[in-house]
């Protein structure tokens, strides 16, 4: 099948929050993040086969290292398709974008399979919370205004809604009112997709699907008031998009991956 074949849905893979480091033995709360990413990629290929597009929604690196970004790009070569990367709070945006450019993964807009993808940078240098600058908000509004007929997915790192977790509410997207004002003006937006929260979420808001996805490494406990992790397997989201605007999506976990999680940590 070709990427643009209208008879088949566009197969999209979301990978998020791998937290890779320069060192091959780099771990987060006891979990080797390279090994957990490898387990996720193995599960994708076994359960779904090749995607048509990979969306990497931030915190690609834990230490903002060239080696981590390049390693990530090399691992994505298991997939015979384009990828698009955006920064999270642990990333160095300019460095990440420079490596992403080597893998042709630095585009802030993409059209494929009858869909329009808008990639936003919600990272704030030196901060854990997210914001969309005036420039990013203008990019979003302009991109949506220029393609009013195409069903659209908007991607960012930070959560733009309250997820019912007190400690994470302080580190979500601060500019959410301005963000939603733009989204609400453009009815072609069908999906808003993000990472950051290391857990699965699927809601609807004014007809827009709101999707967040487990990390490819450690998982945060849903609904926790204070920082808390739970020993659930690393995961990913698979999405099938029809040109009509209809979507099918599921979250899967690499349950074959064995790990010992440090559940007593107070942060990451």
Complete edge-to-edge strand list for the sheet that includes strand 247-253: 83-86, 53-57, 10-15, 235-241, 247-253
Domain annotation covers residue 261:
no
Domain annotation covers residue 180:
yes
Domain annotation covers residue 2:
no
Q: Is 30 left (phi over 0), alpha (psi -120 to 50) or beta?
A: left
- Domain holding 65: CATH number? 3.60.21.10
What is the domain count for the chain?
A: 1
Q: pLDDT (tens digit, 0 to 9) for every residue of the chain, 268 residues total?
A: 234 455 689 999 999 999 999 988 888 888 899 999 999 999 999 999 999 999 999 999 999 999 999 999 999 999 999 999 999 999 999 999 999 999 999 999 999 999 999 999 999 998 999 999 999 999 999 999 999 999 999 999 999 999 999 888 889 999 999 999 999 999 999 999 999 999 999 999 999 999 999 999 989 889 888 998 888 999 999 999 999 999 999 999 999 988 888 777 766 6
Domain annotation covers residue 88:
yes
Can you give the residue range of the structural domain that contains 17? 10-253
* 26 neighbors 63 (Cβ within 8 angstroms): yes
Strand-strand pairing, 152-155 and 189-194: parallel
Domain annotation covers residue 268:
no
* 136 neighbors 112 (Cβ within 8 angstroms): no
Domain annotation covers residue 45:
yes
Domain annotation covers residue 115:
yes
**Per-residue b/e over 20-56, b at no fewer than 16 CB within 10 Å?**
bbbeeebbbbebbbbbbbbbbbebbeeeeeebbbbbb
Domain annotation covers residue 111:
yes
* 117 neighbors 47 (Cβ within 8 angstroms): no
Question: Residue 266 has what pLDDT?
Answer: 67
Residue 84 CA to residue 57 CA, distance in Å, equals 8
């Amino acid at each position: 099948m070709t990427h643009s074949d209208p008879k088949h849905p566009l197969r999209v893979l979301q990978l998020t929050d791998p937290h890779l480091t320069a060192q091959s033995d780099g771990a987060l709360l006891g979990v080797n993040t390279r090994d957990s990413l490898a387990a996720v990629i193995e599960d994708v290929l076994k359960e779904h086969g090749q995607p048509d597009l990979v969306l990497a929604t931030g915190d690609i690196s834990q230490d903002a290292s060239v080696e981590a970004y390049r390693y990530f790009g090399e691992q994505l070569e298991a997939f015979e398709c384009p990828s698009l990367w955006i920064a999270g709070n642990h990333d160095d945006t300019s460095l990440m974008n420079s490596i992403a450019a080597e893998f042709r993964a630095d585009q802030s807009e993409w059209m494929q399979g009858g869909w329009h993808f808008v990639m936003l940078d919600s990272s704030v240098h030196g901060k854990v919370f997210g914001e969309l600058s005036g420039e990013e908000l203008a990019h979003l509004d302009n991109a949506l205004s220029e393609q009013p007929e195409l069903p659209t997915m908007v991607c960012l790192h930070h959560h733009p809604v309250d997820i019912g977790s007190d400690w994470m509410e302080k580190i979500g997207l601060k500019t959410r009112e301005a963000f939603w004002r733009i989204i609400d003006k453009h009815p072609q937006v069908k999906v808003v997709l993000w990472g950051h929260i290391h857990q699965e979420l699927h809601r609807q808001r004014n007809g827009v699907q709101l999707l967040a996805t487990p990390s490819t490494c450690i998982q945060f406990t849903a609904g926790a008031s204070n920082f808390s992790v739970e020993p659930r397997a690393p995961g990913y989201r698979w999405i099938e998009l029809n040109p009509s605007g209809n979507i099918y999506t599921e979250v899967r976990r690499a349950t074959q991956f064995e790990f010992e999680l440090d559940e007593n940590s107070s942060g990451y």
